[in-house]
Structure 1
Amino acid sequence: MKDILNAIQSPDSVPADFAALPLPESSRAVVLRREDTEMFSGLASRDKDPRKSLHLEQVPVPELGPGEALVAVMASSVNYNTVWSAIFEPLPTFAFLERYGKLSELTKRHDLPYHVIGSDLAGVVLRTGPGVNAWNP
């Protein structure tokens, strides 16, 4: 992680420097756990506290697939998607990820016992998968 941060902060870094960086095996992420999906059962939406379902954990850095980019996230935000996911409304995201995981060998890797949340971020592209043309390290 230190190498990534140093490259980001260096005014001399060029795209090839980012593409050549070794990737860590894991990183910190805020996740929801499949085992928690019923934790708010029977509660009104206003009584569900998303802080109870959010967990900061080390997770493996995912393998890159077609159409995907791996981003070193420098900032993220909490928005309605985050809150709805964290209170498992209107549906737990795990149901979607399980269905998606059944589509192919490639999508199977998204059906996990945890879900890294977040849909808004700022960061630096480290790698791109096949078919990604608009973004580069």
Structure 2
Amino acid sequence: MKEIVDAIVSTEATSDDYAALPLPDSYRGIAVRKTDIGMFDGLDSGVKDPRKSLQLMDVPVPELGPGEALVAVMASSVNYNTVWSSIFEPLPTFGFLERYARRFPGAARHDLPYHVLGSDLAGVVLRTGPGVNAWNPGDEVVAHCLSV
């Protein structure tokens, strides 16, 4: 991770420098687990405590698919998607991910026993998958669930 941080704070790193950086095998994220879906059954929304479902986990860095980018997240925020996902309302996120996994070859890798939360971020692109033409390694990006 140190090499990634050093490149980000450098004023001289090029797109090629970012593309050549070694990626870690895993990263740390806040996630919910599929096995916890029923933990709040029978409770009113107002008493469901996200602190009980959120887990700090080391998870594998995903392989990139078409149209995807790997971003070193430098800042993120909590929004309504994060809260709803953490209390499994109005529906658990895992059902959406299971359906998405059946949409096309290669999408099955999104059907995991955990879901790393976060749909708002600021960071730096490290890698891009096939078909990504608008961004390159080293580009600074801001993203949220509806746009980048």
Give, in angstroms, the shift of residue 37 of structure 1. 0.5
Q: Give 2:91's aligned residue.
A: 91
Q: Map 1:43-58; keep pairs closer than 5 Å.
A: 43-58=43-58
TM-score, normalisation: structure 2:
0.90
Distance 1:107 1:20 in 2: 26
TM-score, normalisation: structure 1:
0.97
How many correspondences in the alignment?
137
For the residue of structure 2 that corresponds to 1:6, the secondary structure is helix
Distance 2:129 2:89 in 1: 31
Matched to 1:129, the amino acid is G
For the residue of structure 2 that corresponds to 1:7, the secondary structure is helix
- How many percent identity over aligned positions? 72
CA RMSD of aligned residues (A): 0.8
Distance 2:6 2:113 in 1: 33
Q: Map 1:3-18; keep pairs closer than 5 Å.
A: 3-18=3-18
Q: Map 1:1-137; keep pairs closer than 5 Å.
A: 1-137=1-137
Distance 1:63 1:131 in 2: 15
Relative contact order higher in (CA < 8 Å, ≥ 6 apart): 1
Distance 2:69 2:105 in 1: 19
Matched to 2:77, the amino acid is S
Q: Unaligned regions of 5+ residues in structure 2, if any?
A: 138-148
Moved over 4 A (4+): none
Matched to 1:22, the amino acid is P
